[in-house]
Structure 1
């Protein structure tokens, strides 16, 4: 729906600036739009996997899952380290995962594990910045850090948005169901376009996918708003934007106007509405992904890439009922119960369903899937039966789009506390994503001063390609 809010400072014409910016919000979910931008030169790669992926889905387990109970179990460690859960065999001989991931164990022949990823950073905000951008935060271990210089490197999603343009209805990059934030509501840095400018921000698709029968119809117009009324609202929007341009001479309104035009086009296009409509999926498929916030949004991500979106980032849903002492995967207290009852079942079900579904539809070879987070958890449990933040070593699962399944690269030490071999840095992860999407990591973008920077300074992880 088109929503006008009253908060915000007033312009000289007595219009509220926030009101202007809210006109054109889409349906029951707010959509923050990023304009596409001209591409820079994209060099050809030498690897056989270069450009193998047409799209990428990033599953971001906000809060940091424990490597010991997910992708890197330590059965030989003492109880205070290995935890209460046992490893289980997968379909690949010699590869085990935690017992709370039985569905994922059955698709491990299509999944590669990175078990020595390291940021060296123990703060959600700054370590998250590194994982989302491939660039270390300055300084490290900066909790509740906000976006802004000097930490304004564009996210991977923003780089993809910036480097892909063309006559397409849906944007190159979408994030859902909300941005990532800490308990104090501070927004993590590294989620937007940074020095590239707001016109390259990935779209933020806000939604509340909590109902079992959630339909995901976010591009639809409310039943009481006939499509004919859109012309009237378009006229209102044009009038408001004209006044905004007069009030803001920096030219930012021009970018916003084009984004709003694209939003209005989305409202009237059946293809766009269909991409976000989960009612097109069978009950069997809905149940396969799981009728949970994570299952709903992962299935929606699959529909978006089928509709042509280049990159979709699914953030773990943080609802109002999350406990403040251990929200999402931030398991400082009572970790075993949280993992067993709340966290692992929906994550395992949705991840495995996505991999197997893409494979069955012949889309896995051209769709890169990554399951990652900002960091892992400490080797030892704390006195509250939880684990704390740990950036020295953690794990990532990857599948499709040029990834060779059934492989493990890197290893942590006996306690799962330090890299033992094959360490991978965030820049290596971003370089590999770009490489598989057909973007040479040496491709240059320019900051506001015109200085050139490669989109990633990392090493492509050839061991899993």
Structure 2
């Protein structure tokens, strides 16, 4: 990722800078990113809305491609067949709320789930819709897909939270797994943006075949063991000396964070999902189980789906290890995601909804059993929904005009429904919610004032979020 600030052309590298760069490269860490800390806005706790105490963590589950609202959480059983679709509805643990028949496990925990049925925006393509979703800002390029890599401008949810928590000196403030998502190029909404790469997520790669995870920052290069790292750190200390500018003090803090991360076992243990009780693994669908059998998709695809359950289990373990923000990306790119332009019902029935149902409900129950649900907000969503009218390929196309977001934990009022859609789930009819409002809600639940300012590399001020928190869903 390119730097957000550059050295003046007439400046020459200093001895300290050269040695520091060499040390950083020898560690095998992206320390360049870790050195981009900025000391600007401070966390501002807020009690607006009278909600329960601020959350300690958030798990954002991204169903990339866009699930159908009509075939998940906002069914319209009385609509014509060409709108209603093939699925029946079932009652849930919350009286009055019905969901798709292919979400039976989620139906049993609906009294712990809140639904926003009036999410909407105007971006009809994957990249701009994802950028709007995860930054709460309109995409700088407009409603156009990206075919070449561009720098990220606005920070993501996780990047903003990591920045606002920078004084807490956390080894990992934001993490993302099991890959960076993309359409053609990596979508520029997954990192720190103008706050700098120090606030990019700690990236964790999943291996579908092995069912395991790898984090590059936890692995030093071959031949660089603890003793060499210690000698390099001593050399760095000698270079820095005791007289430090504010920028050098920031550099030192982030070097220290990198070294502690290398020395810490907490994150590595969290990623060792195989430590879990086999019954917990089975509950998440993280091993072969009845839901994955008999689909005729072959072992490779079954393992890929099982990784989806492991992703959520890994997220719970990261939260347990003290990571405040975890992004879980469900499917990477075209042909492997929720973008059901053709065979929508077959795709949802056979490939998409069963693991979603099992994993989402398991995460809620697991966090609850461990006493973590009230302090952990789960946000589950796509970048948009699907068209109410079924197309000639038995599919549904992109539809940002109205779709559903599911929330659980974090002080949410279980069984609550915010907003409403019309009889075809096409447009909001009450309490419309924008990506800016959702961003404000997440920051507010962390005890951050959405009106707090952050600044870009040119010093221009921005609010944390331009929307208003949905306080009625909490407390």
Q: TM-score scaled by structure 2?
A: 0.81
- 2:319 corresponds to: 305
What is the rounded CA distance, in whole Å, between the counterparts of 2:176 and 2:32 in structure 1?
A: 9
Q: What is the aligned length?
A: 431
Moved more, 133-142 or 346-355: 133-142
Higher percent of residues as helix = 2
Q: What are the equivalent positions in structure 2 for 1:197-236 lying under 5 Å apart?
A: 197-203=196-202, 205-211=203-209, 214-216=211-213, 218=215, 229-232=225-228
Give the Å deviation of 1:259.
Answer: 5.7
- 1:44 corresponds to: 46
- 2:7 corresponds to: none
What is the rounded CA distance, in whole Å, between the counterparts of 2:123 and 2:48 in structure 1?
A: 33
What is the rounded CA distance, in whole Å, between the counterparts of 1:66 and 1:25 in structure 2?
A: 42
Q: What are the equivalent positions in structure 2 for 1:98-177 lying under 5 Å apart?
A: 98-138=100-140, 140-144=142-146, 148=150, 152-166=153-167, 168=169, 170-177=171-178
1:435 and 2:444 aligned = yes
Give the Å deviation of 1:54.
Answer: 1.1
What is the rounded CA distance, in whole Å, between the counterparts of 1:362 and 1:45 in structure 2?
A: 23
Q: Give the root-mean-square deviation of aligned CA atoms.
A: 3.5
Mapped contact 1:54–1:310 kept (Cα < 8 A): yes
- 2:383 corresponds to: 374
Q: What are the equivalent positions in structure 2 for 1:50-449 lying under 5 Å apart?
A: 51-138=53-140, 140-144=142-146, 148=150, 152-166=153-167, 168=169, 170-182=171-183, 184=184, 186-203=185-202, 205-211=203-209, 214-216=211-213, 218=215, 229-232=225-228, 262-291=257-286, 292-318=306-332, 324=334, 326-449=335-458
Pick closer, same or farther for the CA change 1:215–1:193 going to 2, 3 Å. Answer: closer
Mapped contact 2:24–2:32 kept (Cα < 8 A): no
Pick closer, same or farther for the CA change 1:97–1:206 going to 2, 3 Å. Answer: same
Mapped contact 2:267–2:318 kept (Cα < 8 A): no
What is the rounded CA distance, in whole Å, between the counterparts of 1:126 and 1:238 in structure 2?
A: 46
Pick closer, same or farther for the CA change 1:263–1:294 going to 2, 3 Å. Answer: farther
Pick closer, same or farther for the CA change 1:140–1:163 going to 2, 3 Å. Answer: same
Give the Å deviation of 1:137.
Answer: 1.8
Give the Å deviation of 1:50.
Answer: 6.0
Give the Å deviation of 1:284.
Answer: 0.6
Pick closer, same or farther for the CA change 1:22–1:335 going to 2, 3 Å. Answer: farther
Moved more, 263-272 or 286-295: 263-272
- 2:5 corresponds to: none
Pick closer, same or farther for the CA change 1:218–1:78 going to 2, 3 Å. Answer: same
Mapped contact 1:52–1:365 kept (Cα < 8 A): no
What is the rounded CA distance, in whole Å, between the counterparts of 2:279 and 2:84 in structure 1?
A: 36
Q: What are the equivalent positions in structure 2 for 1:12-31 lying under 5 Å apart?
A: 24=27
What is the rounded CA distance, in whole Å, between the counterparts of 2:311 and 2:428 in structure 1?
A: 32
SS of match in other structure, 1:341: helix
What is the rounded CA distance, in whole Å, between the counterparts of 2:186 and 2:461 in structure 1?
A: 27
SS of match in other structure, 1:68: coil
User: Which whole-Å deviations, capped at 9, do the CAs of 1:346-393 have from their partners, x for residues lacking one?
Assistant: 111111001111111111111101101110111112111111111111
SS of match in other structure, 1:296: helix
Pick closer, same or farther for the CA change 1:305–1:221 going to 2, 3 Å. Answer: closer
Q: TM-score scaled by structure 1?
A: 0.82
What is the rounded CA distance, in whole Å, between the counterparts of 1:268 and 1:448 in structure 2?
A: 32
Give the Å deviation of 1:122.
Answer: 0.7
Mapped contact 1:102–1:348 kept (Cα < 8 A): yes
User: Which whole-Å deviations, capped at 9, do the CAs of 1:308-328 have from their partners, x for residues lacking one?
Assistant: 11110111133xxx7x5x431
Gaps of 5+ in 1: 1-11, 241-251
Mapped contact 1:192–1:201 kept (Cα < 8 A): yes
What is the rounded CA distance, in whole Å, between the counterparts of 1:297 and 1:416 in structure 2?
A: 30
What is the rounded CA distance, in whole Å, between the counterparts of 2:278 and 2:31 in structure 1?
A: 27
User: Which whole-Å deviations, capped at 9, do the CAs of 1:135-166 have from their partners, x for residues lacking one?
Assistant: 122454212266757x7111111101111124
Mapped contact 1:37–1:164 kept (Cα < 8 A): no
